[in-house]
Amino acid sequence: MNQFNPPSLSELDRVVQAALAEDAPWGDATCDLLVPADRMARGSIRAREAGVFCGGPLVRSAMRLSCADLLVETLVQDGEPFLAGAELMRIQGPAAPMLTAERVALNLAQRLSGIATATRSFVDAVRGSGARIVDTRKTTPGLRALERYAVRCGGGFNHRFSLSDAVMVKDNHLALLAAQGPDGLTRALSQARRRLPHTVHFEVEVDRVGQIEPVLAAGVDTILLDNFSLTDLAEGVRIVAGRALVEASGNVRLETVREIARTGVDLISSGALTHSVRALDLGFDLENSNLDSGS
């Protein structure tokens, strides 16, 4: 375990078990045919490019679920940067189950390392501004806990985990409120706010400067400025004046994030951290050695 609080072992095993069953539903035909059960091997996961590592617990889970006799050594911890060519993990034990688990272990580590690496780039770009880089719910179905862990390993922060965690009133919700009748925006949001327990966070998304004051008057915790220009973001921060947290979203790219941070917003959320990130290039290779059975 590490400082970034990875998902629980049961969550890791749930994802890995499903992936192993998908990849070898009736066994590994190649290993069953060619690799003797008593053949031992040593292998390494190495980086083919620089980045930030994430996925060590998943590699361990994949190897353990494939064969309890596989020994895994972690050389680079989750959240640590590495250079191209770095040896990240070592695995030793029965060769057949090691090879059976290889692809699942690599797929997960490559994707999570890609997310951690991309997040670190965003975090570095806004360093010193006071703005936090935050993920969104635009995650791979079934992998949210893992992908959000990768964001944390990259130095970012998590938004609400699910629809159950917080109230977030978006443009379509506002459209429905407006269609309900004569109640103004402030009144409708205030009435909703009064029905909430005090522990539930209340956030509202707006898409124009004119909506800011009516939303603030309802006593929201966070106001999300969606697809605002840099000029309007700065104006929004000025209007809010500390009465709520200010989140910027939309058109957030590595090339734009520093300028967005300079407007004074508290949070910058980007779905790109998880929905379109490139997997990092990691490889797994067996040592060119001959281990005897039981060694």
How many DSSP H helices and E strands does the chain contain? 11, 12
Query: Within a 10 A sphere around the Cβ of 114, how many other Cβ atoms?
Result: 25
Dist. CA 92–CA 294, nearest whole Å: 11
Dist. CA 175–CA 192, nearest whole Å: 15
162 Cβ neighbours under 8 A, 6+ residues apart:
137, 144
Q: Give the CB-side neighbour count of residue 276, counting CA atoms within 13 A.
A: 5
Catalytic residue ranges: 103, 138, 170, 205, 226
Q: Distance of CA 28 to CAs 22, 98, 102, 122, 292, Å?
A: 11, 11, 12, 40, 22
The helix (H) or strand (E) run that includes residue 204 is: strand 202-206
Beta-bridge partner residues of 94: 40
For CA atoms 129, 131, 133, 138, give the dihedral sign: negative
